[in-house]
Amino acid sequence: MKVLARIRGALGDPWLAILVLGLALFGVAMIYSAGVLDTPRLAIRGLWQRQLLWLGIGSVMAVIIMWRVQLRWVEWAAWPFYILTIGMLVAALFIGTGYGTGQATRRWLDLGPLLLQPAQFANLAAVILLARIVGGWRAPPQSVFDLWLPITLVVVPMALVVVQPDLGTALVFIVVLLAALFWGGTPYGVLFMLVSPAIGLLLAFEPLIFSVYMFGLIGFLLLYRPALRDTVFVLATNLAAGTIAIPLWESLAPYQRNRLLVFLDPAMDPQGAGYQLIQSQVAIGAGGLTGQGFTLGTQKRLDFLPEQHTDFIFSVIGEELGFVGTTAVLLVLGAIFLRITRIAERTPDPFAGILAFGILAVWFTHSVVNIGMTVGVMPITGIPLPFLSYGGSFLLVTMLAFAMVQRAALEYGKR
């Protein structure tokens, strides 16, 4: 019992540490498997070693944060870290590289031996700064206009990421904002008014549905009775969203439009935009109940499955370990999310609670979108799966975020 108490005192939440480290090591194994091919492509065969190196670096930094960095220091560093990541995003637009995603993209900073993706660091910086701002509220906001500061803090990095362009990562910023506001006690009515323009934008492509939605929105405003400026803002932004929906769609790059269209019908372009989704579904379906065996996936070995070590690592798991393997991964992810939710609930400090829940929101969004796109229930956006997809920047940021959650459990949480 004394040994267990010492372990708990050192780690904060031992079960969370076991789940995270176990899933990350499993991810290294699956990246190794993704590189076992029957084709001459050699580029991805040794990436599992780099992933293991990044995991080691991230783990060391996580231990340092858990044992030596108090959360009040993290709170103090929120603004400097945020400004640093904004600078990195701006630098990426001028000197960044596409790293295989196309010459027009500027997502990575090439630092010689290191290749960093600033957007991933900006996500964590936004979570930390929102936790500081929202956690410092003395009373919940009662108006959309009371949210101008957290909205601005999210819009700035989000806009820079959109310009790269990286729409998938940009959408994560929206979830981070909503998660921080929700955990910070923002009334549901205010949250709905905030997200209503996005709802209007999605519904604007069908005039009849959009008209019904606007009538319902007016009814909500009459019942909720917000301030006049909030009413005007909500109606104006929703009408604007309905007006710009079609021009915004036409402004998307062809590959971006095709990704959304093949989500509805992959067969419309089976050799182009729909190829990734079709091959992913074939691989997962071929896995059956128990899979074809570790390193033995046919679609993977023949190199039919694109980006199988990054965006589509879940497809490799499905093909080689089947329904049993994918279910196990989902259960572990669910257990991680549950542990973090409990830490956030039991933390009396607002900053620590919002920080933990914001990190949970990032991981949950990545998991839902990534897994959803591999099975065809979400559009392909190209964001990694936490702990499993190859990517040094994302794994490093994920381990740093994990350390902050553990620090919150260590300082405030009670198991």
User: Could you report the per-residue pLDDT of 263-298, keeping only the tens digit for each?
Assistant: 666 666 566 657 778 888 888 988 899 999 998 888
pLDDT > 90: what percent of the chain?
57
- Which pLDDT score is estimated for 124? 96
Average pLDDT in the 86-99 region?
Answer: 84
pLDDT value at 415 more than 50? no
Contact (CB, 8 A) for 379 and 373: yes
Residue type, 66: M
Range scoring the smallest mean pLDDT among 24-33, 117-126, 160-169: 160-169
Average pLDDT in the 407-414 region?
Answer: 81
**What burial class does residue 192 get, using C-beta atoms within 10 Å of its C-beta: 0-12 exposed, 13-18 middle, 19+ buried?**
middle
Provide the mean pLDDT of the chain.
87
Confidence of residue 94 (pLDDT cuts 50, 70, 90): confident
pLDDT value at 325 more than 50? yes
- C-alpha 317/C-alpha 320 separation (Å) is 5
pLDDT value at 247 more than 80? yes
Query: Which range, 115-119, 200-204, 325-329, 376-380, is most confident?
Result: 325-329
Range scoring the smallest mean pLDDT among 12-26, 197-211, 223-237, 253-267: 253-267
- Which pLDDT score is estimated for 2? 53
- C-alpha 284/C-alpha 297 separation (Å) is 10
- Which pLDDT score is estimated for 133? 95
- Which pLDDT score is estimated for 7? 52
Note the pTM of the prediction, 2 decimals.
0.91
* Sign of CA pseudo-dihedral 198, 272, 41, 103: negative
pLDDT > 70: what percent of the chain?
88
**What burial class does residue 138 get, using C-beta atoms within 10 Å of its C-beta: 0-12 exposed, 13-18 middle, 19+ buried?**
exposed
